[in-house]
Amino acid sequence: MSRVLEYAESVDVAMAGLLTSIQLIARLMLENDDVIGAHAYLSKAIPYFFRLSQDEKERHVEIPKMLRSIRGSSSIVPIAKQIFEPRECPETVVWRDDFRAALELFSKGVIWKACEAFESLANRFPSQPSILWNLAVLRLRLGNPHLASLAWRAFATLPAVSADEAVEALTVAEYLEPRNPDVVELVVQEYPLSETDRVTERMLSDRRLVATRDPIEDWDVEEDGPPPKAAFLIGDRPVKDIPAPKTFEECPHLIGRILVFGRQTDRAARLELTTRESDRLPLIHSIIRDNCGDALGMPTALESIGKIPLLDSLRGPAHAPVAIKADDPGAAEFDPAKLRQENVRHNLTEVWVNTPLRALDGKTPREAVNDPVQRLRLAAIISLAAQQAIPDGQDALFDEVREKVGLPAEPRFSGAELDVLSVPFYRFSRIDAHTLSDVALNEMLVLASDYNLRDAKRAAAFAVLDRSSITAPALKSISWKSIIETSATLEEAIKLCDEAILACQKIAAPIAVFKLQKLQFLILSGDAEGAIPLVTELQRDYADDKPVQAQLFSILKPFVRRLPDGRIMLQLPSFASPEAAANQPAAAKPSGLWTPDQGPPVASVAAAPIPGAARGASPLAGAPAAPAKSKLWIPGMD
């Protein structure tokens, strides 16, 4: 691609002709986890994509799809969504002409030769920030994250580079290629068993073990052979018949998993242990011996099967699923989510900050902050970790970590004169949206929504709704959508959908999108009784709106079942408690999904199995039987 652009008379013509190559390059980069490079190529290609004819657009439709997948992903950190561009050089340097010639090659798309030119400049003038910055950017565009990270790190060491710029460069380098990462190993160990039934019975009665069906149900028989007969999670203390924990220290933690396999044609019965808590192995081995007794053979050596970043391990403590009854002492105050958050806070602000780390040359974060070089590296590690914690809502905890180790707080941005476009994406959440001008607030909302910057789009959305000078229905609708998407719970999301519907009705803005969102949340929460009337309403009120009906069908399709007699039934999950289910009337005869020739729609709400959710059935009372013959009505049909 670079060679074609070198000889092309027009960059525009060449780029349009090379869209297939860009599409392939971006796909390869994504397969190699080079998100920054792929994002840059796709963003460059988009203007040319929109100039194509409709037929040509269909051939290259993967370009906007890949771009949306990057920008809309919650798992890609904000700094990886930032497009880094080359910089200009100072006016007075003797190498200005060579620099600008190299930059001209880049502007023409001849990245390969531009990179070679900057390599030559870096060898002749090794301590120039603009040269090393551009070298890092170009190496990344050429799909070489390793060499790019080396250039970012070299840039960060230069005296002329500010601490803020150095931390940004090191954060990118850590994202591309962590240096001496601190990890926790995931290990597996096998024990031969002389028999399994008695062992399984003992494990079922052991208060430190919790039976689980997930590994068995998710087992890939074709890939891994026969599934285990039983699976258990191991607690570091009793997890059954205990009072409700009041603090995170009292809450049992899961420290491993046991799988019990029966005898196979070519293998003896065995027990398989998996854990990442190597320091808890003596306790785990003791629990295994207590339950297996003389049925247990000699274990194999520990085998490492993977590595987990230390910070991820500390951010994800697995509390045991303690079963709390309503009449248990402390049941009313028991809040698992709060206990988990307290545990994570303790792990980050007390454990991690005092742990010697390979990434800091054996120093603890509290020690490293006093070393000028390590201080910058520490700030970069914390910045990246905070961005990685955004999907879990734990990023704010790293403000406490910064304070604990003695690093300054992240800067805040505010004021009517603020240029939002000058703020990097990973700091968008630091913008005080309420102080921005209407134009800047609009820019913040649109960018934060397009790039799925959770906290920033939520803050901007609330500011838009509070501002009387912004009256555009489209912006109000985007704001409600952003607030709903960033809700902490399904209950909150459903409530906000209702508020959005009422607010948008008053300003004549479309409301179907919020009804469809509400339907999805009701289904996810297992509220089939609330979902069924909404299905009816959407089918009735938007019968002629093909996009709405297509999206409705897409939502309902996973829950459509064909009965033996040929009728079609809609089965929505219902997570009613066993007590509530027991008090329900007997189920009505299953009905078909509504078709235009049937009259009012009805549906069964027999629970569909959803991983991790409670199971049960809560049939709708009083549902009339459906006609004997029914056809599935697909939205958009005449």
pLDDT per residue over 433-450, tens digit each? Answer: 999 999 999 999 999 999
Structural contact between residues 342 and 334, judged by C-beta atoms closer than 8 angstroms:
no
298 in the same domain as 244 = yes
Burial track 100-111 (b if 16+ CB lie within 10 A, e otherwise): eebbebbebbbb
pLDDT band at residue 158, thresholds of 50, 70 and 90?
very high
Instruction: Look at the block and give the residue holding tokens 């192995």.
Output: 281
308 in the same domain as 260 = yes
In a domain, 559, yes or no: yes
In a domain, 10, yes or no: yes
132-141 confidence digits (pLDDT tens): 999 999 998 8
pLDDT score recorded for residue 450: 92
Report the alpha-carbon angle 197-201-204, nearest 5. 140
The residue out of 405, 436, 451 marking a domain boundary is: 405
**HEC states along 73-93?**
CCCCCHHHHCCCCCCCCCCCC
Q: Is the pLDDT of residue 212 over 60?
A: yes
Q: Is the pLDDT of residue 603 over 80?
A: no
The rounded percent of the chain whose pLDDT value lies above 90 is: 61
Q: Is the pLDDT of residue 580 over 50?
A: no
In a domain, 11, yes or no: yes
pLDDT score recorded for residue 323: 67
Q: Is the pLDDT of residue 230 over 70?
A: yes
In a domain, 371, yes or no: yes
C-alpha–C-alpha distance, residues 312 and 119, integer Å: 37
Q: Is the pLDDT of residue 601 over 60?
A: no
C-alpha–C-alpha distance, residues 149 and 174, integer Å: 8
Q: How far is CA 525 from CA 340, 381, 490, in A?
A: 22, 37, 7
378 in the same domain as 430 = no
pLDDT band at residue 579, thresholds of 50, 70 and 90?
very low
C-alpha–C-alpha distance, residues 38 and 176, integer Å: 13
380-395 confidence digits (pLDDT tens): 999 999 999 988 888 9
In a domain, 499, yes or no: no
621 in the same domain as 515 = yes
When pLDDT is averaged across residues 451-463 and rounded to a whole number, the result is 94
pLDDT band at residue 364, thresholds of 50, 70 and 90?
very high
Least confident of 99-108, 361-370, 499-508, 584-593: 584-593
Q: Is the pLDDT of residue 18 over 60?
A: yes
pLDDT band at residue 574, thresholds of 50, 70 and 90?
confident
Q: Is the pLDDT of residue 336 over 90?
A: no
Least confident of 153-167, 347-361, 392-406, 559-573: 559-573
Q: Is the pLDDT of residue 618 over 70?
A: no
pLDDT score recorded for residue 172: 96
319 three-state secondary structure: strand
Higher pLDDT pick, 158 / 614: 158
519 in the same domain as 467 = no
pLDDT score recorded for residue 545: 92
pLDDT score recorded for residue 634: 35
341 in the same domain as 277 = no
pLDDT score recorded for residue 125: 95
Handedness of CA 141, 143, 144, 150 (dihedral sign): positive
Structural contact between residues 171 and 384, judged by C-beta atoms closer than 8 angstroms:
yes
When pLDDT is averaged across residues 251-259 and rounded to a whole number, the result is 91
Q: At what angle do helices 129-141 and 111-124 cross, to 10 degrees?
A: 150
Q: Is the pLDDT of residue 637 over 50?
A: no
Least confident of 92-106, 314-328, 345-359: 314-328
In a domain, 495, yes or no: no
pLDDT score recorded for residue 519: 94
Q: Is the pLDDT of residue 419 over 60?
A: yes
283 in the same domain as 197 = yes
Question: Could you tell me the two tokens for 49?
Answer: 């994509």
The residue out of 376, 405, 434 marking a domain boundary is: 405
pLDDT band at residue 405, thresholds of 50, 70 and 90?
very high
Least confident of 7-16, 409-418, 504-513: 7-16
Structural contact between residues 260 and 271, judged by C-beta atoms closer than 8 angstroms:
yes
**HEC states along 255-307?**
EEEEEEECCECCECCEEEEEECCHHHHHHHHHHHHHHHHHHECCCCCCEEEEE
User: What backbone phi and psi angles, to 5 degrees, belong to 190?
Assistant: -115, 145
Q: Is the pLDDT of residue 576 over 60?
A: no
8 three-state secondary structure: coil
Q: Which residues contact 164 (CB under 8 A, 6 or more apart)?
A: 411
- Residue 32 has a CB neighbour count (10 Å cut-off) of 12
637 in the same domain as 515 = yes
C-alpha–C-alpha distance, residues 488 and 476, integer Å: 21
- Residue 451 has a CB neighbour count (10 Å cut-off) of 19
347 in the same domain as 275 = no
pLDDT score recorded for residue 610: 25
Task: Please give the tally of structural domains in the chain.
Answer: 6
pLDDT score recorded for residue 326: 63
C-alpha–C-alpha distance, residues 540 and 274, integer Å: 53
Rounded to an integer, what is the distance from CA 143 to the centroid of its chain?
24
In a domain, 498, yes or no: no
Structural contact between residues 93 and 99, judged by C-beta atoms closer than 8 angstroms:
yes
The rounded percent of the chain whose pLDDT value lies above 70 is: 89
Q: Is the pLDDT of residue 581 over 70?
A: no
In a domain, 110, yes or no: yes
Least confident of 231-235, 448-452, 562-566: 562-566
- Provide the domain limits for residue 222: 183-315
The residue out of 354, 381, 405 marking a domain boundary is: 405
- Which of 119-123, 177-181, 263-267, 620-624 shows the highest mean pLDDT? 119-123
C-alpha–C-alpha distance, residues 519 and 530, integer Å: 8
Residue among 83, 24, 36 at smallest CA distance from 447: 83
Question: Could you tell me the two tokens for 213?
Answer: 């069906």
**HEC states along 176-237?**
HCCCCCCEEEEEEEEEEECCCHHHHHHHHHCCCEEECCHHHHCCCHHHHCCCCCEEEEEECC
295 in the same domain as 213 = yes
pLDDT score recorded for residue 629: 33
304 in the same domain as 254 = yes
Q: Is the pLDDT of residue 511 over 50?
A: yes
Q: Is the pLDDT of residue 604 over 50?
A: no
189 in the same domain as 241 = yes
Q: Is the pLDDT of residue 274 over 90?
A: yes
Q: Mean pLDDT for the chain?
A: 85
pLDDT score recorded for residue 187: 92
When pLDDT is averaged across residues 539-558 and rounded to a whole number, the result is 92
C-alpha–C-alpha distance, residues 448 and 602, integer Å: 40
483 three-state secondary structure: helix
**CATH code of the domain containing 161:** 1.25.40.10
pTM: 0.81
> What is the number of helices (H) and of strands (E) in the chain?
28, 8
Least confident of 196-200, 389-393, 459-463: 389-393
52-83 confidence digits (pLDDT tens): 888 888 889 999 999 999 999 988 999 999 98
Structural contact between residues 255 and 275, judged by C-beta atoms closer than 8 angstroms:
yes
Q: Is the pLDDT of residue 614 over 50?
A: no
DSSP code per residue over 358-422:
GGGTT--HHHHTTSHHHHHHHHHHHHHHHHHTGGGT-TTHHHHHHHHHTPPPPP-B--TT--GGG
- Residue 343 has a CB neighbour count (10 Å cut-off) of 21
